Chain A
Amino acid sequence: MRPMQGYVYPNEFELHWGLLIVVYPYLTGLVAGAFILASLARVFNVREVQPVYRLSLLTALAFLIAAPLPLLAHLGRPERAFEIFLTPNLRSAMAMFGFVYAWYLMVVLLLEIWFDYRKDLVIWSRGSTGVLSLVRRILTLGATDLSEGALRFDAGAGKLITIVGIPSAFLLHGYVGFIFGSVKANPWWSSVLMPVVFLFSAIVSGIALMLLIFMISSLVRFKRVDMACMDKLAAFLMYALVVDFSLEMLDFTQRLYEAEESIRILSQMLSSRLVLSLIVLQVLVGTVLPLMSLALVAPTVRKQGLVKVPDELRRLIYFVVAVLIQIGIFSTRWNVVIGGQLFSKSLRGLTVYKIELLGIEGMLTAGAIVVLPLVILLVLVKLLPPWPDAEAGATAGIGLGLAVSPARR
């Protein structure tokens, strides 16, 4: 491991925000990204991505439930965490976390999921007995009215919440960017572009994640992977990636051109500490390679993509691209959080980050927190099957002779 270089303030020897704080913006980014994808499907009526609408909502919820955990685990005094809610300092960006989080979880996600699933919950719980059915009955909150008017109200309310939800998702992740972007003491963080860059990288990571989850879930359920949906996702992914990369380049160019006091130490850090995580993983592997692959095979400018490839190969390319993007976005979070602490605020030296394996802030905890949302998602999927063929219209609804609409439009 490279030794420390130059002069570092004595109190800066250890990094104060470690791996867990890398995981936090990574998770919230996935939440925002997955939700924005769902909103695209609903508000803009993108037919091809309808099959991932519900899955995206559940994914967003699963990741949102896990999102505060890294923060909590990293606190010096986690038992006092509730003070953020009880006595927030209203001038603190971090204190807003409680409100933004509560708003997003309670008002946006839960409500939208509830309105969307209410009809199905009623029908599913009618059909059978058992624990699952009981839970579903409880989840209907007693609203079992399936009249046409009630269903129309559900649809209307759902749409309204989605519309409110888009700016909320922007708020959620833009806010995370603001936490870093507003620290004027840190030249690596302090940038007005930070919230915007966070937002677009969130959209990129969310779409890539949904692509992965959709593909894997189809395989696990022995269903054909819906290629129309995959192609559309890939196209969206590419558009988002273009915007994201442009913004990052803009930020980079601006810093380089302005060449402020900090530029010397920052370029030193870039060329000695962040070669792998920034240049290789974030830019080359996580952005340029996926961008080129998508440009070649995804149907963006032309209906078929620049190079015509069979479905199987295209699927494989999408899968690899989505994995690379996850690696790239995680590296992006790493480069922001860890990179921002590798140089001294004296601008005279570089320190090192010693990552630990065990311990509350170690790799195992971080790994567990990253896997946890997938476990939550598994439970949610059992409870609220998001598959188009599981919708009540396709099965129980007909048996009960109810007037339910066929597959969602």
Chain B
Amino acid sequence: MAGELPTTDEATQDSGAAPGRRAFVTACGALAVTTLLVELGTDLEAEEQAEGPERYDPREHYYGMGIDIDKCIGCGRCVEACKAENDVPRDAHSFRTWVERYVIHADGETAVDSPSGGIEGFPEPTGEAGVLRTFFVPKLCNHCANPPCVQVCPVGATFTTEDGVVLVDEEYCIGCRYCIQACPYGARFLHPTRRTAQKCTFCYHRVVRGLVPACVEVCPTGARIFGEVHRRSSPLERFRRFNEIQVLKPHLNTDPKVFYANLDGQVR
């Protein structure tokens, strides 16, 4: 665009010349202005788009999620939202997020279930011994800072983004399922028709547009908190400041970035 401007200037300077040339110069000027306008128009469009992904700088972010166990009511809205948002297969063995229910009986036995990933809520708990207490645990990919799945992928199809999200390149995954074996949390599955590994992306397509993941968006009790891990103004940092935080399977040194508040020791 900058290259076009001198042309217009030249045209203006030449405007006092002979009449034969005047028409030509006017035509040239008109052409230049038109070009300029068209250029400007395209530029405006580009600028509009830039407010989306183009302007997004992953180096400025580092994401994690907080989950407040005490707030989860096991309604399964997050599971439903995730399936809808990410086109997750509707079967009962493919989940990017799911909700587990822990029922601790009076005799000390712990029963865990997650019927259809909890997508339709939970039936009444069963068991002869009385119920001591119950709670729900939403699960998803922990987006580990030290991810075993990324380490084992033979072709590097699964990787960590600069903003701390573990993703799978669907065009590149060979479907060997080593990452599924390496994940200690059962967070990955093989897509039944695409035959590649899939998992939670933190709704990366939403996040880069400044939105929160679908599961966070729909949670009626605010049990899921999404945000930046190391930014003081982030809701996640606030969550981490005011709660005692635990992560899943810390002994495996995967360094998860999904942080649980009020997590029971029974949860694995």
A residues with a Cβ closer than 8 A to B are: 6-7, 9-14, 16-17, 71, 74-78, 80-81, 83-84, 87-89, 91-95, 97, 179, 183-186, 341, 344-348
Contacts and interface: CB of A to CB of B under 8 A. Distances in A.
Interface stretch (B10-18, B47-55, B124-132, B169-177): B169-177
B176 A88 contact: no
Interface hub of A71, A75, A185, A186 (most chain B Cβ within 10 A): A185
A16 B112 CA distance: 23
Contact of B112 (A7, A84, A184): A7
Interface string B177-209: 110111111111110001111000000000000
A77 B195 contact: yes
A88 B152 CA distance: 11
Contact of B189 (A11, A84, A93): A11
Interface of B: 92-95, 98, 100, 110-114, 116-117, 139, 148, 151-156, 172-178, 180-190, 194-197, 252, 268
Contact of A185 (B100, B111, B182, B197): B182
Contacts of A11: 93-95, 180, 186-189
B144 to A, nearest CB: 11
B156 A87 contact: yes
Given A7-B112, A77-B195, A92-B153, A16 B184 contact: no
A10 B155 contact: no
9 contacts: A7-B114, A9-B186, A11-B180, A11-B186, A17-B181, A83-B172, A179-B178, A183-B152, A344-B186
B153 A89 contact: yes
Contacts of A77: 173-175, 195-196
A76 B195 contact: yes
A10 B95 contact: yes
A89 to B, nearest CB: 4
A6 B117 CA distance: 15
Nearest to A12: B186
Contact of B154 (A94, A183, A185): A94
Contacts of A80: 155, 172-175
Contacts of B95: 10-11
Given A94-B152, A347-B268, A76 B183 contact: no
Contacts of A341: 181
A184 B252 contact: yes
Q: Name which of B92, B185, B190, B268 has the most chain A CB atoms within 10 A of its CB.
A: B268
B175 A184 contact: no
B173 A84 contact: no
Contacts of B153: 89, 92
B178 to A, nearest CB: 5
B267 to A, nearest CB: 9
Contact of B176 (A75, A344, A348): A75
A89 B185 contact: no
Contacts of A179: 178
Nearest to B181: A183
B189 A348 contact: no
A84 B190 contact: no
A348 B112 CA distance: 8
B148 to A, nearest CB: 6
Contacts of A83: 155, 172, 174
B93 A14 contact: yes
